[in-house]
A = this chain, B = another copy of it.
Amino acid sequence: MNTVSAQAAAAGPAALHEPRYLGDVDIEQLRQHVPVTRRRLEAGQHLYRAGQPFNALFLVNVGCLKTCELSDDGREQVTGFRMRGDLIGAESIGLRGYACDVVALEAGEVWELPYPPMLSACLRIPELQARLTSALAEEIRHDRSWMLALGTLGAERRVASFLLDLAARYGRLGFSACHFILRMSRADIASFLALKHETVSRVLSRLQERGLILVERREIRILDADGLREAEPATLH
């Protein structure tokens, strides 16, 4: 959308442990088998809602989105944030309708990959099959890794881990890893980390007091990444 996205494009594929999902697939080759279309999104707009017919996967090109898990009894939780290069919709494969809500946190653009054509393309491009499967596996690992964090860390370390995760992802995309803007509200962060927004707010203030970060509304500056990694004694076990 501006100079920033140009930076990201120029940076090219970095090699870290975080979801680069289908990043290495030759998009041009893919286009020969799958009709890829662009879709613009406004801030707050739903990419899809739970229950809507599942017919495509998406790749985030620009912007940041959140995925929200819903339960029949009204509970809900943010289960992740997706940025450039991330795959969206994998959780709904095999279902009639999408399994969760996906909402744009800012204006952006995604590429729509119709699913049945993707499956057939996998038969013609073995590489694509392996990659799609790996992408799903990567998503499982990503979720498990956060399950571990939420299950074993206290509030302070959860927030610290969240910031470090964002930093790493921004870094991989060619942005600054120590200075970035949060695209999501405190409430979204809290929901994702299984905390209350007041707690997130307090923790951010505390981390700032300790000189580990600078917070100014949604602007974050990481001053001491190692300090963040250590953070609090945590509720080990």
Q: Give the residues in chain B near A100, CB-CB below 8 Å.
A: 144
Bound together, the chains give a CA A75 to CA B71 distance in angstroms of: 29
A99 at the interface (CB under 8 A from B): yes
Of B71, B122, B145, the contact of A69 (CB 8 Å cutoff): B145
Q: Is the CB of B123 within 8 A of A119?
A: no
Of B79, B133, B237, the contact of A133 (CB 8 Å cutoff): B133
Q: Is the CB of A147 within 8 A of B147?
A: yes
A151 at the interface (CB under 8 A from B): yes
A191 at the interface (CB under 8 A from B): yes
Q: Is the CB of B129 within 8 A of A136?
A: no
Smallest CB gap from A134: residue in B:
B94
A198 at the interface (CB under 8 A from B): no
Interface flags, A67-78, vs B, CB<8A=1, else 0: 001110011110
A143 at the interface (CB under 8 A from B): yes
Q: Is the CB of A126 within 8 A of B123?
A: yes
Q: Give the residues in chain B near A126, CB-CB below 8 Å.
A: 119, 123
Beyond the given pairs A75-B148, A75-B152, A77-B147, 9 more chain A to chain B contacts, judged by CB atoms under 8 angstroms and listed by A's residue number, are A69-B145, A90-B136, A91-B137, A93-B133, A122-B129, A139-B140, A140-B143, A146-B147, A152-B194
